Amino acid sequence: MLHVKIPTRKEVIEEEKSKGKRIAAVYPIHYPRELFRVFNIQPVEVWGPPKTDTKKANAHLQSYICSVVQSGLSFYLEGYLDIVDLIVVPHSCDSLQGLGSIFKDFIKPKQELVTIYLPREKNKENVEFLANELKRIYKQLSQLCGFEPDDEKLMEEIKTEEKIDKLVFKFYKSRENLPLSSREFYTILRSREYLPPDKFKSILEYALLHASKGKLKKTGIVLSGLLPEPMDILDVIDDMDAFVAIDDMACCMRRVYGEGHSSDPFERIAERIVNGPPDPTKGNSFDERFEFIKSLADLTSAKGVIFYNVKFCEPEYFYHPILKEKLSKAQIRSLIIENDINEPLPQQTITRIKAFIEMIRESS
Amino acid sequence: MGVKDKIKYIFSYKIAGKLLIEYNTKKTFKNFKPPKNWRTDILAPSLRTGVYTKEIIAKHYLEGRYVSGVKPVAWVTSGAPIEILKALGFYILYPENHGALCGARKVALEISEEAEKKGYSIDICSYARTDIGATLSKKTPVGKLPKPDLLLCCTNICQTVLYWYRVLAEYYKVPLIVIDTPFVYDEAKEHDIEYVKKQLEASIEVSEKVAGKSLSFSKLKEVVRLSKMAAELWLEIMNANKNKPAPISVFDQFIHMAPIVEKRGDPETVDFYSKMLDEINERIKNGIGAIKNERKRVLWDNLPIWYKIRFLSEFLAENGVSVIASTYTNAWGELAPMMDIERPIESMAKTYVYPILNRGTGHKLKTMETMVKEFDLDGAILHSDRSCKPYSVGQMDQRLKLLNELGVAALLLEADHNDPRAFADEQIKSRLKAFMEMMD
């Protein structure tokens, strides 16, 4: 166990505000952190949050919209985002598309609303489109902030993010050597959702200092899905003398982008996002997703994959049957479970996870 | 192209099949009678030209049975830019339309369950489940669906189609063209249109390769011209409902929209809608309304509930409610003016970015408000469709605005376009009764 003090979102917002920074509340999933930072805007991501009372969102969204979007809207309507200066809604799925549209047309927040359209395929035209989309957002932000940072400054922010992505990857690779529970590991990792880069970097570096040579002698699992909420799922896995060795989650690994190549900063950010790890919301092929998940399992000692789905998340649903079949052919067992981020893990789910871990342990 | 396939195609479809269907149509048209159990006490007789809807659809699916190996086959999404494929001679199949047909014939559930058995969640779109179920089990009420040689998926109706077509591409191992259309929150930006244009241009090469021939731009222009003409006629048919009484119900439109979706770009479709418009104008001249006692005029928002069209149509007609305008059927006509025959690719890029489903919730509200005024409507039924999130998200705010700012009675009706498990007759009746009371 490590004693790492990680500030809360509230503490970060207050501190960054006191330094004169603007705060952007960012909904899932992909967005250009660098572009906001160069305007002295601190992005703080809104993934729900879990255990939110969604009554207020129920006045705008039907019951068949996922709890991440329901909670995200309720959180705003309850006034928890009053402190922020911008609201950013990336076009990740039909529900988030609807959320952005409802914000713009009906809720009309007092804050600036930024929407981002993310292209769905992985090719040159899409990089070009996203670069143009980023230039449009640059103009919007420069109007809001009253200044136009130059390409050099933007490139500096990009390189900072690229370095952090490398460090995050190293953190993943060291997972088995770190004396951390799965909950601790993901608490550290997910603090990137709201910490400034220097703070996040120092926490990671500190944690990495404690990497030992001996490996964890536990059963490794690949966790796939949107986010590990409620975090009790991580405890359930750990309680079985297992651990999350690596993940294919939207809030974590799917946003560890590679280095860009272009000398144009907008194109470089676009390259990073478009060519990043496969993600259902980007519409990647089954083969790309299978190869990626398999490579994650190969990189670690993971013996099985748990698809942990948020109820009503359509992009994830479509991939499950074929991925499960492909993994099975590759001798990798998998389990599909679904939950609502506002509900505790049902006993039935806990039993299924336990049975799955026992099964993969026995067969390995 | 196999000689055997071609002979079979010519004989079974081109000669025997087509002749038989056309003969039946002529006979039915001549001795026209409304279908059995048609409630002539509350409804106008069904449209006589409706026999041609059946003919067009019957021919389409019959051709599908024998077309493999004769023409290249493409499966496409309902909002896809099909003009290029049409000009290249593809046989085009719309899985959504096939899904709707399965829904209307009440076999969608059985077919969807085939997909559910394989692990597809009950919470994914019921069209997708029906199509994947049909793909896995080969079950279909039309005999046989041709295997695709190419898949064309356009995201201007939802993101769901992207994942759905990935499943199809995985299953059929054929090329998938994705036309990604940026969502229009207010107005499309220049780079949005340019992006779609580039994708359309890139799609030509892939389509030509599959078709084994080059695209003729004069043929493309001709297809665009026919497509535009049919869409304009369709728009005129819908606008005829500004008359009182309204001559054609939205439930009829749901049935007769099949050709504008799956046969646009064909000369027969233009002829068909031209005939239908004549019949509708005749109805207007004779003061014939879609329902006998048009007491209230109502709008329908979102997809139809395919397996309950008759139930809804009769229940509402019994109570003097005529459903006469729809954002859904309107979608296949409203963009017709944007098509430019002389600049097909450029105008397609723009047109296909602007369908109502690819536009913001505020735009849909404006469309409904315009319809309320132009069609002199008393109320709106907003079908909150579990299977169609992009259409349904925003309806709760839209309903309130219609109610509070326009003073129009508005009902949110929870159901699903193809899954009957989401529909309870008595519950729906009592919701509709309360809605009718609101209008009185």
Q: If you count residue pairs, one on A and one on B, with CB atoms under 8 Å apart, how many are there? A: 145
**Nearest neighbour of B119 by CB, restricted to A120, A136, A324:** A324
Nearest residue on chain B to A115, alpha-carbon basis? B185
- Asked if B135 reaches chain A (Cβ–Cβ under 8 Å), the answer is no
CA atoms within 13 A of residue B181's CA, in its CB half-sphere: 29
The b-or-e profile of B48-63 (16+ CB within 10 A means b, else e) is bbbbbbebbbbbbbbb
**Nearest neighbour of A320 by CB, restricted to B119, B170, B192:** B119
Return d(Cα B340, Cα B245) in angstroms, integer.
34
Q: Is the pLDDT of residue B179 over 90?
A: yes
Q: Please give the angle made by the CA atoms of B109, B111 and B116, to the nearest 5 degrees.
A: 85
- Contact across the interface for A320 and B189, Cβ inside 8 Å: no
- Contact across the interface for A98 and B393, Cβ inside 8 Å: yes
Return d(Cα A74, Cα B121) in angstroms, integer.
26
DSSP code for B154: E
Q: Tell me, rounded to whole angstroms, the distance of Cα A341 from its chain centroid.
A: 15
- Contact across the interface for A283 and B198, Cβ inside 8 Å: no
pLDDT > 70: percent of chain B: 100
Q: Mean of the pLDDT values across residues B334-349? A: 92
User: Which positions 362-401 of B are in contact with A (Cβ < 8 Å)?
Assistant: 362, 365, 384, 386, 389-390, 392-397, 401
CATH of the domain at A121: 3.40.50.11890
Q: Is the pLDDT of residue B385 over 90?
A: yes
pLDDT > 90: percent of chain B: 94
- Asked if B164 reaches chain A (Cβ–Cβ under 8 Å), the answer is yes
User: Between A364 and B386, where is the model more confident?
Assistant: B386
H helices of B246-335, in order, are: 250-256, 258-262, 267-285, 309-318, 327-330
- Asked if B166 reaches chain A (Cβ–Cβ under 8 Å), the answer is yes
Please answer whether residues A132 and B191 qualify as being in contact, where contact means their C-beta atoms are separated by less than 8 angstroms. Answer: yes
Return d(Cα B10, Cα A265) in angstroms, integer.
59
Nearest residue on chain A to B183, alpha-carbon basis? A117
Nearest residue on chain A to B390, alpha-carbon basis? A94
**Pairing mode of beta strands A242-249, A22-26:** unpaired
- Contact across the interface for A94 and B159, Cβ inside 8 Å: yes
CA distance A303 to chain B (A): 22
Return d(Cα B91, Cα B69) in angstroms, integer.
11
pLDDT digits (tens, 9 = 90+) for B354-377: 999 999 999 999 999 999 999 999
Average pLDDT of chain B, as a whole number: 96
ipTM comes to 0.95
- Contact across the interface for B393 and A95, Cβ inside 8 Å: yes
User: Between A211 and B252, where is the model more confident?
Assistant: B252
Residues of A in contact with B156 (CB under 8 A): none
Predicted local confidence at residue A5, as pLDDT: 87
**Nearest neighbour of A59 by CB, restricted to B191, B393, B396:** B396
Report yes or no on A315 lying in a domain: no
Predicted local confidence at residue B37, as pLDDT: 86
User: Which positions 141-160 of B are in contact with A (Cβ < 8 Å)?
Assistant: 155, 158-160
For testing the chain B interface, which of A96, A129, A326, A328 should be mutated: the one with the most B CBs within 10 Å? A129
Predicted local confidence at residue A210, as pLDDT: 87
Q: Which residue has the tokens 């390189």?
A: A159
Q: Please identify every stretch of chain A with a pLDDT value under 70, giving residue numbers as ranges.
A: 1-2
Predicted local confidence at residue A88, as pLDDT: 98
Predicted local confidence at residue A1, as pLDDT: 60
**Nearest neighbour of A136 by CB, restricted to B163, B189, B361:** B189
Q: Helix crossing, A197-209 with A151-173: angle to 10°?
A: 30
Q: Is the pLDDT of residue B277 over 90?
A: yes
Predicted local confidence at residue A2, as pLDDT: 65
CA distance B341 to chain A (A): 26
Q: Which helix (H) or strand (E) holds A220?
A: strand A219-225
Report yes or no on A306 lying in a domain: no
Domain coordinates in residue numbering, chain B? 3-439
User: Which positions 242-301 of B are in contact with A (Cβ < 8 Å)?
Assistant: none
Q: Mean of the pLDDT values across residues B417-422? A: 97
Report yes or no on A99 lying in a domain: yes
Domain of A104 in residue numbering reads as: 9-148
- Asked if B195 reaches chain A (Cβ–Cβ under 8 Å), the answer is yes
Number of domains observed in the structure of chain A? 1
What DSSP letter does each residue of A10-73 carry, written as one string? HHHHHHHHHTT-EEEEE-SS---HHHHHTTTEEEEE----TT---TTGGGTS-TTS-HHHHHHH
User: Which positions 199-238 of B are in contact with A (Cβ < 8 Å)?
Assistant: 199, 202
pLDDT digits (tens, 9 = 90+) for A128-156: 999 999 999 999 999 999 999 999 999 99
